[in-house]
Structure 1
Amino acid sequence: MHHSVSAGLLFLLLAGGGPALAQSPSSSSVGLSVRRIELVSDDAQPSAEVAVSPGLSTVFIFDSEVSREGVALEGRERFAVVDAGLTTLRLVPSEKISAGERLKLTMRFLDGAAPASATFVLVAHPARSEALVEVYRRRRGVETYQEEVRQARIEAEQCREENERLRAERSAPDGLTGLISTAVLSGRGVEYRDVTEGVSQAPGGAAGKIFVYAYRTARRVAVEVALKYGGDAQPWTAVGASLRGKANEELKVLRVWQSGPLAPGADAQRVVVEAEASSESPQGSFTLKLWDADMRRTITLGNVTFP
């Protein structure tokens, strides 16, 4: 059943902010980002860091044949998939991997040329991974540089659009007037749904949920979560979030707001995650992940649906 916007979120919309406000790093939910790494024969070359995340694939593509038996992966038991081919390696971390964990990966080449191996540092993130990593030992062709320039132009244009959006929001008035002036409502108001009963929580989270509300406007969606202290000695504040659908589509998170840190003796706190949405309502259920500054203490909520 749909309801009008709750007093809690309406207060946030009208107030235009509050304590513990964090801007989640922008991430594009469209397209495939390609990381390119060039190796040199110098043994002093530092190991490149590559982001990995539980349940998400990271694929390495090499321009030389590699030894499938020569894959040296630290913490191999933390990976659900380790699939090595002649020129590829696909990794899928399992839930056993801890956010912030750093694991060494070494690949050995078959042709005996220098460098004879390549070493990477896999850095575990709660929700972000590098999907495709191209590794070059030989001189790259001009077409790869052209593609890199094309991607850089796309990223620059996305940054320009993001800056324009931020400037427009900063110049807009606060409160309900701001929502109207930025066309967030577009004449349809805010739709609301209590999804508490249907939302599941992964075990071992940094805090427990009390209620979960979902909201949608013409251009935005939001999730409001009330959290209770989970027994951790250290205070906990969400600084980042992701909203990922069953088909691995990811909504672009715009901001994460928390009413105050969760700490021993403190009251329950609310977290609001706001994300961009297309003109049509996001379909199906989403998984919401929240993490703190060190990314080790996370909260995962499944089956979040929007009105």
Structure 2
Amino acid sequence: MKLKLLVCILSVVCLQSCRQESEVKTFFISHNAQQSHPVHQGIVKLQEVLEEKSNGKLVVKIFPDAQLGSEREVLELLQIGSVAIAKVSAATLSNFVPEYNVLAIPYVFRDKAHKFSVLEGSVGKEILEKGSDFWLRGLCYYDAGSRSFYTKTKAIRTPEDLKGLKIRVMNDQMSINMVNALGGSATPMAYGELYTAIQQGVVDGAENNAPSFVSSNHYEVSKYYTLDEHSSIPDVLVISTKWWDTLTEEEQQWLQEAADASAEAQKEYWRLSVLESMKIAKESGVEIIVPEKSLFAEKTESVLENFETDYPDLSPLVNRIKAVK
């Protein structure tokens, strides 16, 4: 990581000196997805639109596959201005900007339409702007689908089926509380270790969206996928305010318009990716289960209650989300 940081800093210094001569501004954009992923495709769209709108004055250099570090490491690089833009999960961003925590509450969104009404409306934009207080200005949201349970040997049809099962979760208190509230045993674990852990029975299953379930090859060792859709945590495209503040109003407008165009395109890329992933899973013998989601939502109400106790200042934000039509 120290080598990556040094390379980034030296590159930025070089770019700053080059700008004085050429007036071309080059943005480093980092993300942790593969180049075939809808996230990368969305950022390529941003790259194309931005260079066209700016007539080549604003140029994008994309670093996929976590080349510049983990999401948390890259956010720290953004805060000091060594990287310009990054795509990160709202769950990771919540460690820096508390308001993003509300987007991870189980079943905070009624459905996909409600989710995008929130994210693309005044509430979502307000949360994006809150990041500026921490040098992390949000540009737009990317669709990351909904997370659902998948298991190796036992199908999850109701919350009761989770009792006694070890379920891998992100190292995030919200995720841990959710699984425990449903009766499972939340087991934080590095994502890279999960395939072997399921295969060897260290854990009984995990939870994630369909494209991740397939791209990780977890469908090979987990033959039940339950579409309970307990959380719909979006990805966020974030720019360092140290970069944003160097842009003219016109350049800021170009960048925001390019980000908005990329978000719209990425939603379609994501939709197609979900369809393809579900097809692969079914053809590989995975049983797709569509449960009664209200049963799971009822069991996770305590997670919201605990959240409002821990973050009383954010309760009004939760109520505003619920009120969005």
Structure-2-length-normalised TM-score:
0.25
> Could you say which structure has the higher strand fraction?
1
> Could you say which structure has the higher helix fraction?
2
Higher-RCO chain (CA-CA 8 Å, sequence separation at least 6): 2
| Structure showing greater Rg | 1
Structure-1-length-normalised TM-score:
0.26
